[in-house]
Chains A and B, each alone.
Chain A
Amino acid sequence: MTAGESVAAQAVETQTQKAAAKKQRAALLRTVGLFIFLVIVLAVLNRATHGNFLAPGNVLNVLRQIAVNAIIAVGQTLVIITAGIDLSVGSLIALTGVLMAGTLASHPSVAVGLLLAVLVGLSAGGFAGFINGLPVVRFGLPPFITTLAMMLMARGLAFMYTNGQPIEIDNHAFNSIGNGFMFPSLGHLIGIPGIPTQILVMLAVVLVGGYVLTQTRFGRYVYAIGGNEEAARLSGINVFGVKLSVYIIAGALAGLSSLLLAGHLNSGSPQSGVGYELQSIAAVVVGGTSLMGGRGSISGTFIGALLIGMLYNLMNLLSIQSYAQEVVLGAVILIAVLLDQLRRQYLTT
């Protein structure tokens, strides 16, 4: 290596070191800034709501409200990291919900009914996901199209199955998953009947989802496919199987969230879950996952779902009327993603 070359190599190295330092600085700045910002905002808001906002009962209430969205958003995150999208999850909530309610209605035994209903809900959701994914991996159809088609079909099937009427659910074991409580002794400490089962299911899904995405081969492949599908294929990754799997998982998680929703409402309704696909996408993008694929996290998605849930809750506590709530939510999503984008631009320049 000549002197000139080694100088050039050194220059390149210091440059990359500088970039790395810049990145660390930015990350630190972001964490500290965000933390301070959050503390101030929460304190102000808590005061504005006369201490109601951060009351334990209310916090659990928010968590309970976001459970359905957070669960489908976990599936949505996997799909979006592979550079796909799933528009069908809202309709799948309705379809799996009425199928489960129908199953329960025809099986009076509590245990058998519960078992069959859960099986039907999850597998129907998973099968719908399979139908979503197959044309994507086999014929290269855009997932936007296949899941849009499923969104229409699933909703229509739910109405056909029920003749447009909700089906009541009187299986108490089933319903308790949606509206029951666990660990009563823990709950008594803060003056409530226990920890809502919904929240526990949600936390389990988020933790397992996060583990799978960050710790397993499957998770690494999901990122790789979203980052560069051809390079992933040439590295020997079974792109077909991994991509198909994320749609199946997203569908099955829609079935699981439907189980919570139907149990909570004691009925399966063909009208449930309208607009939930967009709520889940909102949680994913607010959580920093790129719609271009290859980048994102379950923890981010969970925070995104939490932020959106807190925002709704807060606006209710402040008696902001529901039409205005939509405006605020839309603006918050736009600003959150814009800030994320600006931060990334700063990092790459």
Chain B
Amino acid sequence: MQFPGAESPPVTSAADVPYLAMRHISKSYPGVQALDDVSFDVRRGEVHALVGENGAGKSTLVKVLAGAVTADKGDVLVGGRPAAIHSPKRAEQLGIALIYQEFNLIPGLSVAENVMLGREPTRGFSIDWHQLRERAARALARLHVELPLNVEVRTLSIAQQQMVEIAKALSTDARIIVMDEPSAALTTQEVRKLFDIIAALKRDGVGIVYISHRLEEIFAIADRVTIFRDGKHVKTDALSSFTQDDMIRFMVGRNLAAHFPTLPPEPARAQPLLSVQGLTMPGRVNDISLDLYAGEIVGFAGLIGSGRTSLLRGICGADPVAAGTMLLEGKPFQPRGPHDAIEAGLALVTEDRKSQGLILGMSVRENVTLPHLADFVHRGRIDRREEAAAVAKLAADLHIRTPTLEQLVRNLSGGNQQKVVLAKWLLQKAKIICFDEPTRGIDIGAKAEIYELMSALAASGTAILMASSELPEVLGMSMRIAVMHEGRIARIFARGEGSQEEIMRYAVGTVAA
């Protein structure tokens, strides 16, 4: 049997047999191998960091642990015995607790009620409030935090809410606590407090799985590190055997998965098509300035929450902009909403096509013509034949596979749905198209077609802004790469200038902007 740490055995004795061991776990979703034969273990009293890029398989592993999804293959052993975690309840019984990025607290209930939620001690038919408060107080005391038990959770700060989450985990007598990006919403000081608590938990023999994009945190508290990439286990070792550069290399070091088309030559950068100056959206995007030229593809790299999506939405009028100016073809451009931006020739292909890009209960024809329906209206009436003819042409150009144009978009595959979204914005040629995660969740064939299309659009003079969490995509499809970190552009690379490792360093903030 192969243990994950076998490559370079850390200091082990019989005593630290892992409390939790996951062996040869595989899990696939339609079109994606989310986990491919990975193994992972956690010992009592250690902090085991799990790192990898977006989509590396970390969340899937966590979901398997939590009993939220069932693995296709592989075993989970708890305390040396096989354990079938088929439900969140079972995970809790086995002593595994999870703290998600979005808290699972009930804002209108008190701190004590939240800590003991679902496990309220009872006396007869009623809740034993005395007991409940006492047990909640005990869990909070283990964290050495002072929180009033009776205030509503909604009134607490994010950091305090997190303490409540941890107390909730402790009150279930958890022996393994999984923390998924726990520091995402915390200030530096609060993070320090969190680390103190983690240290206290370690002393109590609790094993911690710590998931974070922030490498400096990993180096501050982890004992061991496991790196995932593309659903595969890359390496598990003691922290001391890594440098930050190693870690980044292991995270991104892969062959480019898709074949990218040859991009058209970079345009002459004389008169910018769009000039953004000091664009600011409070809490999300800070003082962004950028010039975009006709026929150019600018890719935005960065971590989730770095402001890429917000920036694109701000430019396209989807979200309000607090400060900054934009010039479109030299003229002031201030969209008050998506309508203005569309009129001006901008298009936004949103990251989530199902919730923002498409009306799933409408047909292909109706979805495609929605932004430019006025073009098909004659004397107040929509001319469906004209509509169908225009959509049919686009559907053929884009190879949208659908039995008829009257098919509901709901029934199409992800790749075809994405092509329907693109068709919406190609009906009337947009000057600037903002792509947010253009190929998320679609198969390789459709991906390649979308890359071809982007390249052809650029060749015809359309300017493209593309935000993507897939570094190879950013590298393969961009003429310039803007790396974002915490709402700012940390650096702009020219094509061929930055390596994956270098981009990642700016994205995680290990290089100051």
Taking Cβ atoms with an 8 Å cutoff, the residues of A that contact B are: 1, 5, 9, 12-13, 16-17, 19-20, 215-217, 220-221, 223-224, 227-228, 230-238, 294-295
Q: Which residue of A lies closest to B448 (CB)?
A: A1
CA distance A262 to B370 in the complex (A): 42
CA distance A168 to B7 in the complex (A): 96
Listed from nearest, the 3 A-B pairs whose CB atoms lie closest are: A227-B359, A236-B342, A236-B339
Question: With a CB–CB cut-off of 8 A, which chain B residues contact A216?
Answer: 377, 380-382
Contact between B401 and A236, CB atoms less than 8 A apart: no
Question: With a CB–CB cut-off of 8 A, which chain A residues contact B231?
Answer: none
Question: With a CB–CB cut-off of 8 A, which chain A residues contact B359?
Answer: 223-224, 227-228, 231-232, 294
Assuming the contacts A234-B338, A236-B338, A294-B361, asked whether A16 and B356 have C-beta atoms less than 8 A apart, the reply is: no
Chain B nearest CB from A300 CB (Å) reads 15
Contact between A217 and B374, CB atoms less than 8 A apart: yes
Apart from A1-B445, A224-B366, A227-B359, 6 more pairs, CB < 8 Å: A20-B407, A220-B366, A220-B370, A221-B373, A234-B357, A235-B338
Assuming the contacts A228-B355, A235-B371, asked whether A9 and B401 have C-beta atoms less than 8 A apart, the reply is: yes
- The reply on B465 being an interface residue by CB < 8 A is no
CA distance A221 to B413 in the complex (A): 25
Chain A nearest CB from B342 CB (Å) reads 4
Chain A nearest CB from B325 CB (Å) reads 22
CA distance A13 to B338 in the complex (A): 35
A217's contact among B343, B361, B362, B382, by CB below 8 Å, is which?
A: B382
Q: Which one of B343, B362, B377, B424 has the highest number of Cβ atoms from chain A below 10 Å of its Cβ?
A: B362
CA distance A19 to B411 in the complex (A): 9
Chain A nearest CB from B136 CB (Å) reads 34
CA distance A295 to B360 in the complex (A): 11
Assuming the contacts A9-B401, A16-B411, A294-B361, asked whether A235 and B370 have C-beta atoms less than 8 A apart, the reply is: yes
Question: With a CB–CB cut-off of 8 A, which chain B residues contact A232?
Answer: 359, 370
Question: With a CB–CB cut-off of 8 A, which chain A residues contact B339?
Answer: 236-238
CA distance A234 to B443 in the complex (A): 25
State the main secondary structure of chain B at its contact with A.
Answer: mixed
Contact between A227 and B411, CB atoms less than 8 A apart: no
CA distance A23 to B165 in the complex (A): 48
Question: With a CB–CB cut-off of 8 A, which chain A residues contact B66?
Answer: none
CA distance A216 to B374 in the complex (A): 10
B355's contact among A17, A224, A230, A235, by CB below 8 Å, is which?
A: A230
Assuming the contacts A20-B403, A234-B350, asked whether A220 and B373 have C-beta atoms less than 8 A apart, the reply is: yes
- The reply on B167 being an interface residue by CB < 8 A is no
Chain A nearest CB from B284 CB (Å) reads 17
- The reply on B179 being an interface residue by CB < 8 A is no
Interface of chain B residues 342 through 388 with chain A (CB within 8 A): 342-343, 348, 350, 355-362, 366, 370-371, 373-374, 377, 380-382
Contact between A20 and B424, CB atoms less than 8 A apart: no
- The reply on B163 being an interface residue by CB < 8 A is no
Assuming the contacts A20-B407, A220-B382, asked whether A5 and B445 have C-beta atoms less than 8 A apart, the reply is: yes
CA distance A232 to B403 in the complex (A): 25
Q: Which residue of A lies closest to B342 (CB)?
A: A236
Chain A nearest CB from B409 CB (Å) reads 10
B interface size (C-beta, 8 A): 37
What mask results when residues 225 to 266 of chain B are scored 1 for a CB within 8 Å of chain A, else 0? Answer: 000000000000000000000000000000000000000000
Chain A nearest CB from B446 CB (Å) reads 10
Chain A nearest CB from B425 CB (Å) reads 10
Question: With a CB–CB cut-off of 8 A, which chain A residues contact B348?
Answer: 234
- The reply on B318 being an interface residue by CB < 8 A is yes
CA distance A235 to B445 in the complex (A): 27
Contact between A295 and B371, CB atoms less than 8 A apart: no
Contact between B358 and A16, CB atoms less than 8 A apart: no
In the assembled complex, 29 residue pairs joining A and B whose CB atoms fall closer than 8 Å, in A order, are A5-B445, A9-B401, A13-B401, A16-B411, A16-B412, A20-B403, A20-B404, A215-B382, A216-B382, A217-B374, A217-B382, A223-B359, A224-B359, A224-B366, A224-B370, A227-B359, A227-B362, A228-B358, A230-B356, A231-B355, A232-B370, A233-B318, A234-B318, A234-B338, A235-B342, A235-B371, A236-B338, A236-B341, A237-B370
Chain A nearest CB from B352 CB (Å) reads 9
What mask results when residues 396 to 415 of chain B are scored 1 for a CB within 8 Å of chain A, else 0? Answer: 00000111100100011100
What mask results when residues 129 to 150 of chain B are scored 1 for a CB within 8 Å of chain A, else 0? Answer: 0000000000000000000000
CA distance A294 to B366 in the complex (A): 13
Contact between B362 and A224, CB atoms less than 8 A apart: yes
Q: Which residue of B lies closest to A233 (CB)?
A: B338
Assuming the contacts A16-B402, A19-B411, asked whether A231 and B358 have C-beta atoms less than 8 A apart, the reply is: yes
Assuming the contacts A17-B403, A231-B357, A235-B424, asked whether A217 and B377 have C-beta atoms less than 8 A apart, the reply is: yes
CA distance A217 to B339 in the complex (A): 15
Question: With a CB–CB cut-off of 8 A, which chain A residues contact B361?
Answer: 227, 294-295
Question: With a CB–CB cut-off of 8 A, which chain B residues contact A5?
Answer: 443, 445
B360's contact among A215, A220, A228, A236, by CB below 8 Å, is which?
A: A228
CA distance A295 to B366 in the complex (A): 13
Contact between B356 and A231, CB atoms less than 8 A apart: yes
Question: With a CB–CB cut-off of 8 A, which chain A residues contact B380?
Answer: 215-216
Interface of chain B residues 325 through 344 with chain A (CB within 8 A): 337-339, 341-343
Q: Which residue of B lies closest to A240 (CB)?
A: B337
Q: Which residue of B lies closest to A8 (CB)?
A: B443
Question: With a CB–CB cut-off of 8 A, which chain B residues contact A17?
Answer: 403
Question: With a CB–CB cut-off of 8 A, which chain B residues contact A234?
Answer: 318, 338, 348, 350, 356-357
Question: With a CB–CB cut-off of 8 A, which chain B residues contact A217?
Answer: 373-374, 377, 382
Chain B nearest CB from A41 CB (Å) reads 31
CA distance A188 to B489 in the complex (A): 82
Assuming the contacts A234-B350, A234-B357, A235-B370, asked whether A13 and B382 have C-beta atoms less than 8 A apart, the reply is: no
A236's contact among B371, B381, B404, by CB below 8 Å, is which?
A: B371
Question: With a CB–CB cut-off of 8 A, which chain A residues contact B342?
Answer: 235-236
Q: Which residue of A lies closest to B318 (CB)?
A: A234
Question: With a CB–CB cut-off of 8 A, which chain A residues contact B377?
Answer: 216-217
CA distance A232 to B370 in the complex (A): 8
Question: With a CB–CB cut-off of 8 A, which chain A residues contact B424?
Answer: 235
CA distance A119 to B28 in the complex (A): 65
Interface of chain B residues 154 through 193 with chain A (CB within 8 A): none
CA distance A283 to B472 in the complex (A): 56
Q: Which residue of B lies closest to A9 (CB)?
A: B401
Question: With a CB–CB cut-off of 8 A, which chain A residues contact B404?
Answer: 20
Question: With a CB–CB cut-off of 8 A, which chain B residues contact A1?
Answer: 445
CA distance A217 to B370 in the complex (A): 9
Question: With a CB–CB cut-off of 8 A, which chain B residues contact A295?
Answer: 361
Chain A nearest CB from B33 CB (Å) reads 15
Contact between A13 and B370, CB atoms less than 8 A apart: no
